[in-house]
Amino acid sequence: MAKTLIEIKQGLECHVGKRLKLKANGGRRKTVIRSGILAETYPSVFIVELDQDENAFERVSYSYADVLTETVELNFLDGNKAILMEQ
C-alpha cells in the first residue's frame, strides 16, 4: 500500500485516462461501487468520470487522503484483469 499522499498522487498520475472500478464508503455501513475513467489529478483531489448508464452523476472527486485511509479503494482495469492501487 502507498504510504504517503505524494506516492498516491504520483501513482494515480500514471493512470490518467484508464478505466477503473472504485469502491467507496457511503456511510452507515453502505458501500458504493462505481466504474469510470480517471479523468484528472489535481494537487489535493482526483476526478473520476463515471459511466453514464450506471450512475446518475457525471463526475465524482475524491482526495488522496481517502485512498490513504482506505475510504476509497481503486482497481484499474487492464483488459480482463484488475491492477490494484497497492502496487
Query: Any idea what the CATH number is for the domain that residue 45 is in?
Result: 2.30.30.100
Confidence of residue 27 (pLDDT cuts 50, 70, 90): confident
Specify if 12 maps to a domain: yes
Nearest to 14 by CA among 46, 62, 53, 55: 46
Specify if 83 maps to a domain: no
Provide the 3-class DSSP secondary structure of residue 52: coil
User: Rounded to an integer, what distance in angstroms lies between the CA atom of residue 12 and that of residue 19?
Assistant: 12
Write down the mean pLDDT value for the chain: 86
Instruction: Say what the pTM is.
Output: 0.83
How many residues are present in the chain?
87
Specify if 32 maps to a domain: yes
| Number of domains within the chain | 1
User: Rounded to an integer, what distance in angstroms lies between the CA atom of residue 11 and that of residue 85?
Assistant: 8
